Structure 1
């Protein structure tokens, strides 16, 4: 037997011992375990929150209350910054701060008690005009104008009709469908052609 034949016989014997595996064949590497996914923010929850805020905003004079709150902040800011100097000199400064607080309370009432929007809007406008005397010309006229605009918007606001009010969609889980029960032995099965056959007799 020649040398090449002896070499081929030796390779065949090694393959038979190894179960027929080819030594030249590459063994596939083990796949790495997947990394744990980081928790992501639930977009549906943010969408529901945004729709809920929109529904809340559209059922009340939201912008009127916001204008009143901005005007109240400007009206009360002037007397509040010089409160120490005014108190030392003996001058009363509480009136300017009180008027600013009252305008802010009217703005909050427009948000949380919208059914009183007519009365609250008129009071917000009157308090804003009164701040022209009590609070450094009504917050340099800017706070007074914001309060008057907010009061006028609150007075003129009207609720949406019921058919136009936005509604928050609710997520419903689909109900599982139950498969049809097969007919019993003593019942009559119906073939697709419409011929009735007794299942017991075949």
Structure 2
């Protein structure tokens, strides 16, 4: 585990080029396969979102911070009311997660269909497009918001040395039940030990966690 007196470097965590090439191939194949087979779910969810809130868009895109602190547009199914970002300021003091993140279990901005797709993590499926584009990987640290990164210490910023992912150790180890500090520690642990075997293991574990997580909100 990285200690505060020795911070990881980009060269250290991205030294295994053969692993990175294989990881990218798995990302492309997995994302394409997922987009094709999940198309019926995309269609049904899109209809349900428009039925509940016809004025709002089906997809929600948000600027996230990726590898080397580069910005990219991350896609999700919209699970909140159209003016969710504007209403966030009123709710910041009710944050239920410690550290540089905002999470609220009974967030009043979440729609009815939004509660379901968040509980099952179906709202995250459009991120497969981000994986295909190369903004994200199937496995890696959660991509943070810019307002979160502003609060990062040098130690926290180590998690930005690699391509962010749709799932990872944090997502399958408790997710929002864990503190920000615990999330960072799990991300660093993954970064220092990542390999194809671990990635596949986390992907398989994610499939089982998705439809029964009590910590997704």
TM-score range, shorter chain: under 0.3
Kindly indicate which of the two structures has a greater share of residues assigned to strand.
2
Could you state the TM-score of these two structures normalised by the residue count of structure 2? Answer: 0.21
Kindly indicate which of the two structures has a greater share of residues assigned to helix.
1
Q: Which has the higher contact order (CA 8 A, sep 6+)?
A: 2
Could you state the TM-score of these two structures normalised by the residue count of structure 1? Answer: 0.23
